[in-house]
Structure 1
């Protein structure tokens, strides 16, 4: 029996070797299961089974096998940790890797991947850098790509690491370099790198590659290009790319989630029904696994804002509380969203109290909360309360933007003295603390000086102008203003400063006094040019107006067939149908039928109507008033009209 079992074992191992050469993992798995069934303590057969399950992506079965054959798992920590990593059980995978006594290079590389998923980018960067130094194989490009991704995510998380120069320029590395530029706010450079990455990506495919496969790979680069446009305020271009990506339905769920979220952010309070559908897809568990913690936080905040836009106040409040529990860093944004919900419900007093209490509790959030309170107060028209709120900010009050807002509000309410007081405090505080650079304060000194000069406080204006001169000693405009200010309360000082003004240059040799004295310069450049054309030069002789040649008369235009020996036709001014020659040519027609306006020949019609022949034979007024054939229609109309008008006038008198 022993010989038979050994023979069976050898035969099965022979099959394993044969199937391994052709990478037929299904048959390897079946053969390994037969071996384990016959030889439950065979560690090598168990190893074959685990490797084949990993190659077939059956990671749940891998964990079941480790549980069933616990006595055979020694030395397979890497495989178990990899299965846990692929099942997104990152913490458990790290524990397995920590249990390895003498980690090899493969353990360190997997550990770096696990640390990346845990967003421990500092440790991940150091580990990956060591792995790259120790290795030199076909996977160097992938390691460099992962290193560039780690640097980008470190920048996003708040720690900046310089991007090194890589040996290869793959589209993945170009993409990560573009993301690095975006993290630093260098959008023009990022746009160039993304275009280059897309070009390299398309060229990396074979000519016979399916277009769908190419577009699927390019989708993440296009998505980042849309984000680049989005950050630059080019919302229309960004939304167009987001929409085209979603229509293609890429296989990467992370790309779909980001495109949906950014589309919602652009739409804001528009297309709310479509935004709700997109948000529902984003919040699914299968998508959330693919996202980083920063992306999850942004999506959760956008979900709360979407609930606010759809007037789901209670639902929004519940989502905000849940958000704060999962993401404590969003507490400040949560307070602002709660205040927005209360404000939409016309509960501004409660919103102000909520933000005021939070500002006292969290001093670091005081500035944001107070500015939000000012916005609510201004929406209610309470300008004086808004001014008091801004003045309660302490040292933050002296920021240039806040000082500008205070001065504008005080001037709007007709309180120039209060505005002057605020500027005076700001000037003295900045002179004392010197917390900002001199260049940033130039606008503050300028506004303060102008306001104090207008309000009749030349001493304070002079102090501000002195500060301006320290920034730019060669500014003659500021020097002139300073002289004007000193002239009002210290004439001696004004005279001393006036000596620093540049001397006037004698421009009289270059001036044309005659042109200045003439009135034509007031009429503009055209009049001056016209005057220059008409004014004679010294060498031109004068011409008398009497001897000026007159314009010649135009030649008479005669007809082409004009004959001077024949008199012109006296009827040439009449219409053709009224001329006698026209009548002669039309002899075939009845001469009594004339032409003209409608109704002009009604009498002739009655004359030839057989039913009216007897009546027309008698002498009637209409028959007597019929015109002779020699008269034309115009003469008929004139004669008839005159008679009728006369008759009407007589009848009117009667």
Structure 2
């Protein structure tokens, strides 16, 4: 019996559906055995490999096909590079593709490459261009919210306009999850917990997902929720929820290697009974192998690296930690505001000073300071080391040297003409540290000056863009409002007007403008500024003025009077304190036990109440015996005998004279 004829590639393409990728791949491979240069077969094989998630095989097929295939399937080539982790090359190719598909790949590639500003720009263009934007509205909104959350983690939250989730974000679990991540990045853990619970409930109730898809989507949500509960100090609740949902057994089912590693590390750190550090280190390393196409973001890698070094310190590998962290710090640019690099300075100090992270206390700060100060002289531009020394000074309750150290560091950077050094000099975090130290010392004028200088620098540098840190500008404006000088009020008004021009819905900026100009520069106030404030009748709508006047001034209740008629309980008689026995070396001379000592014994003799000056001998004997005066009849002087003459003086030897 003759064999059935093998279907041709064109026949398969006309009959197959979108799920027959394996069949298409087999047909394309057979066609290529007959003709290796068949462009249609090469293209079909590439698409089938991408559909089967065989991205490395797709890249090899592109290399076999040469430049002609890359030009024919340029979009597929960019996508294969993106999924294989070749992000720089993928971004370059996707930028040349054009069209809506190329823009999608470019947006995803720049997101993974942590160029979030360009990713946001791409999603903005996708939302504006073409009729397909309406069909992709939900997906685009979810992707934009994910980019906004990453901007918050990257310290660029000033580029995010929407700080609070809207109603549409709470209608799907993807939007609620992304909104929760943004809240966690801003430190709003309470709101993040609520949003994660909402995402969990929406995902569990979804009718569009199968049970296996629900499990895959729920695992990252539960991992994030356990992290938030641990940060809130509710580790027991986090462990209970992990156990109840079977997350500890399901961690191996998490498809993403990066998410799986983060989940296992969080489980180690939140354990109620910490394990042996050597066992923890081995378990930490078991899941640390992450493929290139699923790499962690920078902020995640930095935190996990700190965990790794901390475990090494607990395992008594201080020399290795000291050498590794020092090499990383030396290879990075200095000074820098990179949190990952600056945090390494703390671990470097702990390794060189032989500090145990589990038992370190404030009492050890003085000892550690003696070892750290010479290190700061060798690395004067190390911001992380500088902040570590300042923290050690604060632990010893020594604010003065901490202020002087930070002021001298700022003075050195101010003399530099390098813009990167000036960015570090006026970094909001460092400025806030100095302002906090000034506040402890009550130096209000220095606070006002420092905040004004920092705000002026950033306003000058970013005239056309959003402020680098609106919180810094608001703090400076609020500080200037506390001054009575007109120039300070004018500067505060300019700051708040600048904030208002960047964000017209900022109500705090409107209030700042009104507060700055209301006293002496009312001509600068605009009608829309005043109208945007809450009217006074609305503020006092629930207040009864007459009742307040009749009530009078409130006074605190007297603690002596009591409405109770019960007899107060008798106070227990205070037991007499035992007198401490005085040490023999502190006892005065001629001390007799039982005899009351002089309470004024510590005061100089001339200052004591009972001191009287001694009378001189013969005082008054020669009273009135002046030369030529009247002689007292009752006193007749006896004749003086002996050699020598002279009146009024008795014979005798002078003090200090010796006979020869």
- Band the TM-score falls in, shorter-chain normalisation: 0.5 to 0.7
- Cα drift, residue 302 of structure 1: 1.4
Residue 344 of structure 2 corresponds to residue 334 of structure 1: yes
Matched, 1:162 2:161: yes
Distance 1:64 1:363 in 2: 46
1:191–1:228 contact (8 Å) kept in structure 2 = yes
Higher normalized contact order (CA 8 Å, seq sep 6+, divided by chain length): 2
In structure 2, list runs of 5 or more residues that go unmatched. Answer: 356-363, 408-430, 453-474, 481-551, 553-557, 569-660
**Paired position in structure 1 for 2:312:** 307
Matches within 5 A, 1:29-44: 29-44=25-40
Q: Deviation at 1:280?
A: 0.5
Shift of 1:389: 2.9
Hey, what's the Cα distance between the residues in 2 that align with 1:326 and 1:363? 14
Query: Is 1:228 aligned with 2:228?
Result: yes
Given that 1:25 and 1:56 are in contact with CA atoms closer than 8 Å, whether structure 2 keeps it comes out as: yes
> Relative to 1, partners in 2 of residues 1:287 and 1:326: Cα closer, same or farther, differing over 3 Å?
farther
1:91 aligns with one of 76, 88, 91: 88
Distance, in Å, in 1 between the alignment partners of 2:399 and 2:189 is 38
Q: Give, in angstroms, the shift of residue 203 of structure 1.
A: 0.9
Is contact 1:356-1:370 (8 Å) kept? no
Decide which moves more: 263-272 or 79-88.
Answer: 263-272
Partner deviation per Cα, 1:281-317 (whole Å, 9 max, x = no partner): 3421338934111101110111111211222112222
Partner of 1:125: 120
Partner of 1:526: 566
Say whether the 8 Å CA contact 1:197–1:221 is kept in structure 2: yes
Q: Is the 8 A contact 1:175 1:193 kept in 2?
A: yes
Greater shift in the superposed pair: 25-34 or 162-171 = 162-171
**Deviation at 1:158?**
1.9
* C-alpha displacement of 1:403: 7.2
CA shift at 1:122, angstroms?
A: 0.6
In 2 relative to 1, CA 200–321 (structure 1 residues): closer, same or farther, beyond 3 Å?
Answer: same
State the distance in 2 between where 1:434 and 1:290 align: 39
- Runs of 5+ consecutive residues of structure 1 not aligned to the other structure: 1-7, 406-421, 442-504, 506-510, 529-654
Evaluate the alpha carbon distance shift between residue 373 and residue 283 of structure 1 in structure 2; reply closer, same or farther with a 3 A threshold.
farther
Structure 2 CA distance for aligned equivalents of residues 149 and 309 of structure 1: 36
1:241-299 CA-partner distances (Å, limit 9, x unpaired): 45652332232323322223334444699422442133203421338934111101110
Give 1:144 deviation, angstroms: 2.1
Report if the CA contact (8 A) 2:344-2:384 is conserved: no
Aligned to 2:219: 219
- The yes-or-no answer on 1:371 pairing with 2:391 is yes
- Return the alpha-carbon distance in structure 2 between the equivalents of residues 317 and 130 of structure 1: 48
Q: 1:112 Cα deviation (Å)?
A: 0.5
- 1:564-601 CA distances to partner (integer Å, 9 max, x unpaired)? xxxxxxxxxxxxxxxxxxxxxxxxxxxxxxxxxxxxxx
In the alignment, the residues of structure 2 paired with residue 288 and residue 524 of structure 1 have an alpha-carbon distance, to the nearest angstrom, of: 76
- Counterpart in the other structure of 1:26: 22
Does the C-alpha gap of structure 1 residues 19 and 343 become closer, same or farther in structure 2, counting only changes over 3 Å?
Answer: same
CA radius of gyration, larger in: 1
Please give the alpha-carbon distance, in whole angstroms, between the structure 2 residues aligned to 1:123 and 1:175: 22
Q: Does 1:50 align with 2:46?
A: yes
1:186-335 residue pairs with structure 2 within 5 A?
186-205=188-207, 209-210=210-211, 214-241=214-241, 245-249=247-251, 250-251=253-254, 252-266=256-270, 270-271=274-275, 272-286=277-291, 289-321=294-326, 323-324=328-329, 329=338, 330-335=340-345
Q: Scaled by the length of structure 1, what TM-score is found?
A: 0.55
- Compute the displacement of 1:119 (Å): 0.6
> Counterparts of 1:434-449 in structure 2 under 5 Å?
none
**2:83 equivalent to 1:79:** no
Given that 1:15 and 1:31 are in contact with CA atoms closer than 8 Å, whether structure 2 keeps it comes out as no
Which secondary structure does the structure 1 equivalent of 2:566 belong to?
A: helix
1:359, 1:366 within 8 Å by CA — same for their partners in 2?
no
Matched, 1:144 2:141: yes
Q: Secondary structure at the match of 2:342?
A: helix
Supply the distance in 2 between the matched residues of 1:92 and 1:235 (Cα, whole angstroms).
43
Work out the CA distance in 2 between the residues paired with 1:434 and 1:63: 54
1:327 & 1:316 partners in 2: Cα distance? Answer: 17
Equivalent residue in structure 2 for 1:64, among 60, 73, 81: 60
C-alpha displacement of 1:183: 2.4
Say if 1:315 and 1:36 are closer, same or farther in 2 by CA, change over 3 A: same
Q: Deviations over 1:9-62 (max 9, x none)?
A: 9x6144323552374222322322333333444322221121122222222222
Shift of the alpha carbon at 1:326? 8.0
Distance 2:10 2:432 in 1: 83
Pair 1:97–1:427, CA change in 2 (3 A): closer
How far does residue 432 in structure 1 lie from its aligned partner after superposition?
8.6
For the residue of structure 2 that corresponds to 1:360, the secondary structure is coil
Q: Does structure 2 conserve the Cα–Cα contact (< 8 Å) formed by 1:242 and 1:260? A: no
How far is 1:67 from its partner?
1.9
Seen in structure 2, the aligned counterparts of structure 1 residues 40 and 51 have a Cα distance that, compared at 3 Å, is same
Can you list the C-alpha shifts for 1:98-118, whole angstroms capped at 9, x where unaligned? 443xx1110111111000010
Does the CA contact (< 8 Å) of 1:226 and 1:242 recur in 2?
A: yes
The reply on whether 1:389 has 2:401 as its aligned counterpart is: yes
TM-aligned CA distance change 1:266 to 1:289, over 3 Å: same
Offset at 1:153? 0.6
1:98-109 paired onto structure 2 within 5 Å: 98-100=95-97, 103-109=98-104
